[in-house]
Amino acid sequence: MKRIDSPKKLEDIRKEIIGARDPDKPCITICSGTGCRAFGSENVTESFRKELKKHGLEETIDVRTTGCHGFCEKGPVVVINPHGIFYQKVSPKDTNEIITETLLNNKVIERLLYTHPETGQKIVKESEIPFYKGQMRVIFGNNGKIDPTSIDDYIAIGGYSALSITLTDYSPVEIIEIIKKSGLRGRGGGGFPAGVKWESCRNAAGNKHYVICNADEGDPGAYMDRSLLEGNPHSVLEGMIIGAYAIGSDEGYIYVRNEYPLAVRNVEIAIASLKECGLLGENILGSGLNFDIKVSRGGGAFVCGESSALVASLEGRVGEPRAKHIHRVESGIWDQPTNLNNVETWANVPLIINKGVDWYTSIGTEGSKGTKIFSLVGKVNNTGLVEVPMGMNIKEIVYEIGGGIPEGRKLKAVQTGGPSGGVIPESLMDVPVDFDRLTDVGSMMGSGGMIVMDDKTCMVDTAKYFMNFLRGESCGKCTTCREGTQRMYEILEAISNGDGKEGDIELLEELSWAVAEGSLCALGQTAPNPVLSTIRYFRDEYEAHIKEKRCPAGVCKALITYSIDEENCTGCGACKKVCPVEAITGEKKELHTIDPDKCIRCGACMAACNFDAVKVV
């Protein structure tokens, strides 16, 4: 890579890269995000390369491995450009046919197309699939267009032009003004105005200012940050360099979750290529800006996503939060002014500079501007990552983009905000995604987890699940958090075991108050939310567990029994075969029965039955 030492050089190189590329040249793009990899996309790529070689087409057809397209459910995803033909669930067996039919003969392979679940219609183009149609993919959309390990790809789509504009046309204070006017709020959970934070950090006294990217993504059930870092690391890095200029920092860190090896790898590759061409290091683009970024891997502790715990971890200590009256922007890493922002927050920065404040503020609601990426998962047909304009309501996201609930079941609630958030019941599905409105209904925006729950999800179990998570992840520093979450878990466990007592709900509410009031950091302060919100909207379900010893959703093991329906059972023996404890008896073609004393309620028989004969009561 040549050195890029001035804005002009950047534009020259951009022209050179684009000029050397033929936009009409056929290109096979294969998603290589973690989801598609898990479905075997690496084998698909290898097979494409082999087949192209066999046909002698390596020069005429390009192969590009890209970041996550978002529609992970349908992986491995392959898009054939320039026409944008979308193939789903592609396997190495299909690659030869795709080359000979689609690329050489312009024929679409019906079998690999996406089928509209309601109309049965086959859809050819990615952009026309309902999952993508309702989205506004201004941050996430480039993932599918570029190879994340290629800086050329990023430059070709306009990469680092925002940095170039920043350094030539604006002073640091002007950049802060732009970010403030854009209304950009932190995407990591708190929703704090980014420009205001930058300004305080810039104005804080210290020998050295730091900027940090929070890629700890601890919310279980959310993976937006992972996919952005994996799929388009340069957009995050560009945001950080602009931030460093505005704040007056010469050193930055990216704190990445240990469980994300591919994100670590792609970011490290991106940083190495930036250093090589001079976009990181000394005198960036000849502007006099010096800035360097280091990658630090986390140790797998949820609390380390909290700003002061993250700083402690970066310094090589255990991740225990510090008191909030010490402001991080004034005294962060090594007690120096430190500005921490989330991955997605950083990725918004180049977009705002490029497109301008007017454009950016035209998207979203009064108090929440721009788009938000959600991880739409759980009991929903189209699971994956979705980017929507702020203000879209949850119903639209679940039904129009998500395609509704599988197996024709009923939507019960949507959980947002991770362990600090809450459940939003079906009756409130009209609530828009907006920082303040979500807080009003007892949940929160959080970092972007959106977990869809159907009528087979038990709310006591959900609360117990989060409390189990939180008692394990509490760092143990504050007694209220350490003991309170433990005690709340024990009460919830007793309720789900059928040992709930009259007064337990009130006790949970009282403990909630103590935990929230008595804890230092937001982990403890928000820990009761999953319990309070489930009590608020599903109190009757708690009461059914406590008073009637019944789990209406059929989840809590101690309160359910499995049985086989006489009418539906065909005596096929599928259930008997999968039962790990030999609790099922019955002759072939005759009614089978389950011995409740032997049954461990593992659910294997239910999953194995093709006739809907296994019931839970």
Ligand X SMILES: Cc1cc2nc3c(=O)[nH]c(=O)nc-3n(C[C@H](O)[C@H](O)[C@H](O)COP(=O)(O)O)c2cc1C
Summarize as ranges the residues that interact with ligand X (CB under 6 A): 186-190, 192, 214, 216-218, 302-303, 305-307, 340-342, 345, 447, 521-523
CB-nearest residue to ligand FES: 221
Distance in Å, CB of 314 to another protein, minimum: 8
User: Are 168 and 289 in contact, with CB atoms under 8 Å apart?
Assistant: no
Of 175 and 314, which CB lies nearer to another protein in the complex structure? 314
What tokens appear for 602 in the block?
């593992």
From the list ligand X, another protein, ligand FES, none, pick the one residue 604 interacts with, judged by a Cβ distance below 5 to 8 Å according to partner type: another protein
Q: Single out the residue of 117, 158, 300, 596 in contact with another protein (rule: CB under 8 A).
A: 300
Of 39 and 435, which CB lies nearer to ligand X in the complex structure? 435
Binding flag, residue 221, ligand FES (CB under 6 A)? yes
Binding flag, residue 220, ligand FES (CB under 6 A)? yes
Under rule CB under 8 A, how many of the chain's residues touch another protein?
62
What is the footprint of another protein within residues 19-38 (CB under 8 A)? 34-35, 37-38
Q: Single out the residue of 313, 339, 480, 526 in contact with another protein (rule: CB under 8 A).
A: 313
Binding flag, residue 281, ligand FES (CB under 6 A)? no
Of 279 and 488, which CB lies nearer to another protein in the complex structure? 488
What tokens appear for 289 in the block?
């800006």
> Quick one: which of 462, 442, 445 has its CA closest to 394?
445
Of 381 and 529, which CB lies nearer to ligand X in the complex structure? 529
Binding flag, residue 92, ligand FES (CB under 6 A)? no
What is the footprint of another protein within residues 405-434 (CB under 8 A)? 415, 418
From the list ligand X, another protein, ligand FES, none, pick the one residue 190 interacts with, judged by a Cβ distance below 5 to 8 Å according to partner type: ligand X
* H helices, E strands: number in the chain: 25, 20
Instruction: Write out the E strands in 89-138.
Output: 114-115, 122-123
Binding flag, residue 485, another protein (CB under 8 A)? no
Residue 204: alpha-carbon gap to chain centroid: 33
d(CA 429, CA 432): 8
φ/ψ of 339, rounded to 5, equals: -110, 115
Of 221 and 571, which CB lies nearer to ligand FES in the complex structure? 221
d(CA 67, CA 48): 17
d(CA 145, CA 64): 9
User: Are 531 and 492 in contact, with CB atoms under 8 Å apart?
Assistant: yes
d(CA 475, CA 338): 23
From the list ligand FES, ligand X, another protein, none, pick the one residue 603 interacts with, judged by a Cβ distance below 5 to 8 Å according to partner type: another protein
Distance in Å, CB of 220 to ligand FES, minimum: 5
Q: Cβ contacts of residue 225 below 8 Å, gap of 6+?
A: 215, 217, 342, 343, 344, 447
Q: Single out the residue of 118, 580, 582, 597 in contact with another protein (rule: CB under 8 A).
A: 580
Distance in Å, CB of 236 to ligand X, minimum: 11
Residue 362 DSSP code: T
How many Cα atoms sit within 13 Å of 332 on the Cβ side?
A: 26
Of 140 and 360, which CB lies nearer to ligand FES in the complex structure? 140
- 3-state SS string for 172-207: HHHHHHHHHHHCCECCCCCCCEHHHHHHHHHHCCCC
In 10 A of CB 535, how many CB atoms?
Answer: 22
> 314 exposed, middle or buried (CB, 10 Å; 0-12, 13-18, 19+)?
buried
Of 47 and 375, which CB lies nearer to ligand X in the complex structure? 375
What tokens appear for 242 in the block?
């602009």
Angle value at C-alpha 44, between 38 and 49, nearest 5 degrees: 145
Of 81 and 447, which CB lies nearer to ligand X in the complex structure? 447
Residue 610 DSSP code: S
Q: Single out the residue of 469, 537, 538, 562 in contact with another protein (rule: CB under 8 A).
A: 469
Q: Single out the residue of 240, 428, 453, 594 in contact with another protein (rule: CB under 8 A).
A: 453
Q: Single out the residue of 494, 608, 615, 616 in contact with another protein (rule: CB under 8 A).
A: 608
Distance in Å, CB of 66 to ligand FES, minimum: 21
Q: CA end-to-end span of the chain, whole Å?
A: 66
d(CA 124, CA 112): 9
Position 53, amino acid: K
From the list ligand FES, another protein, ligand X, none, pick the one residue 192 interacts with, judged by a Cβ distance below 5 to 8 Å according to partner type: ligand X
Of 216 and 454, which CB lies nearer to ligand X in the complex structure? 216
User: Are 384 and 73 in contact, with CB atoms under 8 Å apart?
Assistant: yes
User: Are 98 and 80 in contact, with CB atoms under 8 Å apart?
Assistant: yes
Q: Single out the residue of 61, 72, 228, 583 in contact with another protein (rule: CB under 8 A).
A: 72
Q: Single out the residue of 116, 125, 297, 482 in contact with another protein (rule: CB under 8 A).
A: 297
Q: Single out the residue of 449, 484, 500, 552 in contact with another protein (rule: CB under 8 A).
A: 449
Of 123 and 452, which CB lies nearer to ligand FES in the complex structure? 452
From the list ligand X, another protein, ligand FES, none, pick the one residue 34 interacts with, judged by a Cβ distance below 5 to 8 Å according to partner type: another protein
Q: Cβ contacts of residue 210 below 8 Å, gap of 6+?
A: 249, 251, 252, 253, 332, 333, 336, 337, 338, 339
Distance in Å, CB of 546 to another protein, minimum: 21
Instruction: State the sign of the Cα–Cα–Cα–Cα dihedral 138, 143, 146, 150.
Output: positive
Distance in Å, CB of 375 to ligand FES, minimum: 8
* Positions that interact with another protein (CB under 8 A): 34-35, 37-39, 72-73, 75, 217-223, 226-227, 257-260, 296-302, 313-319, 375, 377-379, 383-384, 415, 418, 449, 451-453, 457, 462, 465-466, 469, 473, 475, 578, 580, 600, 602-604, 607-608
* Positions that interact with ligand FES (CB under 6 A): 220-221
